[in-house]
Structures are given as structure tokens and as C-alpha cells.
Chain A
Amino acid sequence: MSRIDATFERLRTRKRCGLIPFITAGDPDAATTLALLRALVLSGADLIELGVPFSDPMADGPTIQRASERALRQGMSLRGVLELVRAFRQENQHTPLVLMGYANPIEAYGKAFVDDARGAGVDGVLTVDYPPEECADFAAALKSAGIDPIFLLAPTSTEQRYAQVAAMGGGYIYYVSMKGVTGSALLDFEQLGQRLPAIRAAVGMPVCVGFGIRDAASAAKVAAFADAVVVGSRLIEEIEASPRDQAPAKVAKLMNEIRMAIDNASVAGRAP
């Protein structure tokens, strides 16, 4: 069983909602990213999404965009991200790592990417601007290497779309909880609660919810029906505001709060 499947299996058995932090690799530098990854694991991350910085992150809000710019100024690249993953895997064999980014750095890396990602210990790849119809070959190559192609669904997605990503994707579905870019506010919890069971049933995979989860309270609300909550921009704000050596502790503190809120939240409405 893959690390991602094992993680969601464990969450199901314990009737727990998962917590998925997102940070950008190389923000503020590679060494701090490694320290942050350790801190995230210790503060309750079930799976980590690691952002691959890109010069033109069209689907991201200003916070993650700034993180990308900081990382690129430090010389971070997809090659560098894979090195970070390799380093992390030397000390951690159980926390799944999913790369999240844009198509162009992957295309520039070339065909070797899939093998190199597997070798480094990457578990999933979410490519924001690769909708299923534009990446059939890539998704198939990932799958045959044992890496899950993770796809997005959004409030605007049709049911036909659910089936399409179910067929091509693996691991879990990242549900974009709202229209807009990462880091936006305003979540419609009621709409989310109504939609999620249908999506989960249609895709037959865990559904994780991201975009707009700003604090322990909103995470707890989403935890009532999501298989996992993704927290990104809020963590990056913490990294941005802290001196490098204090960033891991600050992020861990926020993670602990969210973890506690999620665990305390009712999970009664969730599918077994």
C-alpha cells in the first residue's frame, strides 16, 4: 500500500480528519524548509504538500506568490526540491509528500522527472495547470511509477468532471473550497457540507479541502465533512513574519492549535 493510501486508511480507522500543511520549498531557504518539514511532522501533519516555486503562479494569491519569489531568489528549482525530498526521506519513511506546482518547471525538467521523483521519495504530484485532458500521458507515467497524480475539483466542476478525475487521478482529490486564488477568505461551509459527500461517492477517493482555511475554527468546521484539511497561506504568513530560526517553532504552534481543533471537532457527519 502506498504511503498516501496507508495514511488515509489510518485516519479512517481512527475516525480522524487529516491535516495537510502546505509550504513552499526553499522559502525562506532550503535548510529552513527541511527544519519546517520536521516541525510539521512533529506538530501533527498527516501528509505534506510541498510547493514547487514558479515565476508565474497564476492560481495563487499574493502570500504564496511571495513565497515563490523568495524561494526563487534563493535559487530553488525543481531539482532542488527533489534534493529536499531525498533529505527528508532519509529521516522519515512514513509521512507522504506531495509536490504541488505548475506544469512548466516539470516540462523543463524533462522526462526524467517521474523516475527522479520516485527515487527521491515523492508520493504524489499536483500540477495546478494540468487539467486531466492536457496531461493523460504524464498522469499515466506517474501512476506506473507508483506516484499518485492528484487532481483538483472546484465548486464549478461538473459531475462529468468528477468521473474524469476519478479515472485519471489517484491518492486523493484536492477540493478547492471556493472560487478564487489561494489565501482568499470567505468559505461557504454549508455549501461545502452539502457537496462533499456526493463528490466523495463519485470519485471513490478521500477528498481534502483547501483554499480559505485560515485558523483553527475554520479548520474545525471543514473537518466535520472533509477527509483532510489543507492549510497553506496561513502557515506561510507565519514563516514570512518570523526570523528563520524561529519559523519552525511558530509554524508548529499554529499547527498544534489547528490539530487540536480538528480532533475535537465532531466527525459524526463523515462517511466511515
Chain B
Amino acid sequence: MTLRSFPALAALVVFVTFVVFAGAGAGPAFAAGPRGPAIEITVIHATQLDGGGTIDPLLRDLPQLTREQPFVRYNNYKVLARQELPLEIGKAAASELPNGRALAVTLVDEPKDAGGPRYHVRAEIGEPGKRAFLKLLEVTASSNEPFFVGGQSYQGGTLFLELVVRP
């Protein structure tokens, strides 16, 4: 091995490093989206169909809930959108809804970590120039525990917003 082989060796090391990191990056580590806590928002359109409805395969666990109020009112569920936004203290993560309203979710304070992190989040749903649909909703939830906001009328049905804090 001579001095001439050093650039080749250095290039090999850089390549291996890139492959290793890129391989890890292509996996689940970055598939979840931004680093740190995030709010996953799923917009669900629920309708009542006479001929029997279906449930979007993306809503794997919803069938168990459709026997309960208020889900029992509908038999057809379809996911319209799903996104994950980073949660920062005091900084609203905004998402536009299909009905023209906007949902804003804010992490209120530092997560409490007694027996696992608990996130205190605030949600607001409004529309410019109109009366707010939901002026304020504050909940405290652990990561991966969903909570729902329903009631918005949309195309003969209603919208359910499923909110989950992802660590």
C-alpha cells in the first residue's frame, strides 16, 4: 500500500459510512417523520350508507369503536389525510382541513415524565372570519394514546380528527 492508495481508501471509508447511515435512514428511524415529539393527525370522513359501509384499512382499530357512541352513528369510514407535524412548546402545528377550517395543535409545556412522558397539548379549530368551531381543547395524554374530535359536518357526513402524540 502506498500513498497513492490513500485517497482510494479514504473514499472507501466515506462510502461505507454513507451506506451505513443511508441504510439506517431508509428504515423506520426516519420514516416516522421529524425528530422529537410529533402530533399525528388523521382526518376521517364518516358517513352513513344504506347499502352498508366500509372501513378504511388504514383504520385498523376503528372497527372496535364503531359499536360505541359516537362512532355507531356511521358505518362508512374513509381516511382523507394523515400527517405528522413536529410538536414544539408554544409553537402551533397547523393543518388545513378539507372543509376549509384549520386545526392548530400546540404543546403547552414540558412533558411530565412520571411513569412515561405525558404530553399537555392544546387544539384549536377555526376558520378565518367565522366563529371558531373549537376555540380551545386541552388534553393530557401519553404517547401513542389517541383522542378524537368529531362533529364537523362534511359532505353528508362528519369529520373525525384522530390526534396521537408520537414520541
The answer to whether A and B interact is no
**Using a CB–CB distance below 8 Å, which chain A residues touch chain B?**
none
Which residues of B line the A interface, CB within 8 A? none
